[in-house]
Chain A
Amino acid sequence: MRYSTGLAEARHYASRHVPRWTSVVSGVVSGFSRTTTFALAFAATLAIGTMTLMAQGSAVTYTRILNAAAEPQNWLTYNGTYNSQRYSTLAQVTPANVTKLEPKWVLQNQVFGAWQSNPIVVDGVMYLTERPNDVMAVDAKTGRMFWLYRWTPSPDSRVCCGANNRGVAILGDTLFMGTLDGHLIAIDAKNGKPLWNVTVADVKLAYSITLAPLIIKDKVVVGVGGGEFGIRGFIAAFDPKTGKEAWRFNAVPGPGEKGHESWQGDAWKSGGGSVWVTGSYDPALNLTYWGIGNPGPDWNPFQRPGDNLYTDSVVALDADTGELKWHFQFTPNDGYDYDSVQIPVLADLTWKGTPTKVLMWANRNGYFYVLDRATGKFLLGEPFVKVNWSSGLDANGRPIQTRQPAGMATYPGNQGGTNWYPPSFSPRTGLFYFSAWENYGTIYHPEDATYQPGRNFSGGGFTVATPVPGAPSIGIGRRGPINNWTDEVGNGAVMAMDPHTGKPKWKVTQFDVTDGGMLTTASDLLFTGGREGYFHALDARTGALLWKTNLGGQIVMAPVTFQVDGQQYVSVIAGSAMFTFGLRDN
């Protein structure tokens, strides 16, 4: 349903004035119910829609997040819903009218640097972070800012690959942000004031938090980064009222913990296992799924014999206790920095005739996996790009490793066949969409590394394979406006994977590699972008390009969609700006 501009603006004006008017009648009713009650009456007299105002009075309960799919006008958690499908039932924008998208507002970054944040949207208010640790509350309809909270991380902060923050979580009226210096901060969502601030991990040991926290019931769950600095990673849950730690899962098990036998000597102490991308949650199984990063030192597996659990694994944890229920390791004794920090995407499929709760995963190591998420059982694994570090997977999904001779390129290269960029699964098409890097290899130079607290612990280096010596090569971050490495060093692709076969149903290649995330909608649109700065709307069934626009800056995050006052919006960050699109009025 759409409203005329005049009505929508009248209502918007009204919504801004509600709080002030309610203050006049303070004492009649209390708290947010007061706002809600008044808003209802006020809106009713104007005979206009009331959903936004009604909703804005109610806090974001766990039940609302649990049922986030039922309020598609909002984007309540990092991955949209607990199953992390990044699929929206909003369908105002369709393949037929997508060419009528126009920019509605643009938010310019206030600080320097690539922008990987994922906004959440709650009843017309967008909460967005920018580096290093700023939080903004923005009118989702106009892009105007309500408040800005700025946390200045300690100068001791060390992050290998950019001072990123990927977003906040919300519970009740409180936002939660992890910081580059390893803090978890609770912030009042109405006024941007900090409520509590706890230290999750020691910044002097190069721990950081870059992911968006995940709310599960009455807990705030985060993981820590620092996989290039010899940290010992973990996932921990905190009380949202006090910041008190409720449970902790060590991503690198210590003596007496299950999995410790996969390490020798003291290697576990600096074994890495960072956790820098938000996990998923299955409420029926009460399991939360998280991807674990690379072992340390990154490029010298000879220095840490063994499988190095739970690095490069997905772990399924009891959401109440953090107890490990099962794990699946994608890359044992990894020597290539194949972090498994991709988002666990959950779906209920009919697998070979049997209804099955699956978890789908396009891994940095170049294989696409389907697992039974109740048990961790391996169901399928197929390479989606050139892979030569392994000749295949055995019946249990364990790779048969084929290390390349010194000086020879390993495929996929260091940044992987894919990476942290959010994928999407559309239950309508049954396809799993993600960004892949094709024909991209790197040459590893392992060296012995000595652990020194807080210092780089990568164990050598790597060079990107190029067609001629000294040719420009793909970097991990932003690039300038000229693609001088060309597709000869690697190209990007949007892949639409059929999870039943492990083969892409279709793919659309791009000249440059892409770090773009995915968004699908109930109108079978797939929104994504890439380093070239194009923002695409593809037909999710066929990959046909329906619409594109050049936003002039690298798109590294998944778009999100939401609705305010009857208008569907699609927001995406490109370069140093966030662009929010909606259909033209006519």
Chain B
Amino acid sequence: MSHLRVRLLTLAACAIVALAATRASAQVADHQYTSADIEAGSRLYANQCALCHGPNGDGINGVDLRRGVFRRSVSDDDLARVISTGIAAAGMPSFRFQPVELTAVLAFIRAGFDPSGTAVKVGTPGRGQALFAGKGACASCHRVKGAGPRTAPDLSDIGAIRTPSTLQRSLVNPTSAMLPINKPVRAVTKSGTTIRGRRLNEDTYTVQLIDDQERLVSLIKADLREYEVGKTSPMPPATAVLSSGEIADVLAYLLTLKGGL
């Protein structure tokens, strides 16, 4: 039993909530949803949900459907209820889906918006974990579950927020998969100090980053002499050090990292 499950069972004020969560997890684990469900759900989502929730499911503040972040819902039953009855105060209408349609939408949400499923080779997580720490040297920049450096993105929940195919792309060709926000930045202050780090947030007047000393730094652009957003990922392609079989193992390990702490 995972830490999450233990915590839910012991901490949840409402036993019903905990039971519902357990049931929801079991559904996914049992592969109750078929790829046909997911495919049908993707079409329903695009037609009925994407206008407000956005193509990536993060269009509503505090909700990220693709990553399983909801305001109120825990279980699939919760989600089904919200979809069917709406949330008048939040402006979410009720949707009159047929049961099979509702199942499809839930399948698509629970599948992380990945209608194509896993088209990439997934190896053995245990071997991947060893490669991550050893030969692959991933752990020399990435942090997982509280261990490792923070200069590169923390991967503790990467398996929950990325699809297998995008993870594969990140491993093989990091620059082509680098999210814009994660890009390395270089700034030179008016006093001549150079700051390098990974971008965390930016607006018109400021930029926030974690620098190569793992300090959280917020800079006012007007105070900078130079400011530059890098175009290439500092991560070397995994192909430089790992075989394709080993990459499949690392991928399998990454997919086990579901966060949830």
Contact = CB atoms under 8 A, between A and B. Distances in A.
Contact of A468 (B62, B96, B176): B176
A112 B89 contact: yes
B239 interface: no
Given A159-B93, A470-B162, A485 B180 contact: yes
Nearest to B55: A463
Given A478-B61, A485-B180, A486-B180, 13 more contacts: A113-B90, A157-B88, A159-B93, A163-B88, A455-B96, A469-B177, A475-B60, A477-B61, A482-B181, A484-B181, A512-B203, A534-B203, A534-B204
B16 to A, nearest CB: 24
A484 B166 CA distance: 17
Contacts of B60: 475, 477-478
A467 B180 contact: yes
Contacts of A159: 91, 93
A468 to B, nearest CB: 5
Interface in A75-127: 111-113
B94 interface: yes
Given A158-B93, A163-B91, A485-B181, A462 B169 contact: no
A155 interface: yes
Contacts of A473: 54-56
A175 B59 CA distance: 34
B78 interface: no
Interface stretch (B43-51, B186-194, B210-218, B247-255): B43-51
A476 B61 contact: no
Interface in B236-250: none
A516 interface: no
Contact of A111 (B52, B89, B169): B89
B157 interface: no
Interface of B: 43, 45-48, 50-56, 58-62, 85-86, 88-91, 93-94, 96, 162-163, 166, 169, 176-181, 200-205
A132 to B, nearest CB: 7
Nearest to A160: B51
A472 interface: yes
B205 A476 contact: no
Contacts, number: 130
B175 to A, nearest CB: 9
Nearest to B88: A155
Nearest to B181: A484
A194 interface: no
A484 B199 CA distance: 10
11 contacts: A159-B91, A162-B91, A445-B46, A461-B55, A468-B176, A477-B52, A480-B61, A483-B203, A485-B180, A486-B180, A511-B203
Interface string A263-295: 000000000000000000000000000000000
Contacts of B176: 468
Contacts of A464: 54-55
Given A163-B90, A473-B56, A477-B59, A510 B204 contact: yes
Contacts of A469: 166, 169, 177
A301 B161 CA distance: 35
Determine the interface band of chain A, counting residues with CB < 8 A from chain B. 35 or more
A473 B59 CA distance: 9
B52 A155 contact: no
A471 interface: yes
Contact of B202 (A156, A456, A486): A486
Interface string A246-277: 00000000000000000000000000000000
B47 A484 contact: no
Contacts of A534: 203-205
B93 A486 contact: no
- The 9 A-B residue pairs with the shortest CB-CB distance, nearest first, are A461-B46, A163-B91, A475-B59, A486-B180, A475-B54, A158-B93, A484-B181, A463-B55, A532-B203
Contacts of B56: 470, 472-473
B59 A476 contact: yes
A228 interface: yes
A219 interface: no
Nearest to B60: A477
A216 to B, nearest CB: 30
Contacts of B205: 534, 548
A488 B180 contact: yes
Nearest to A466: B180
B146 to A, nearest CB: 22
A152 B89 CA distance: 9
Contacts of B179: 468, 471-472, 484
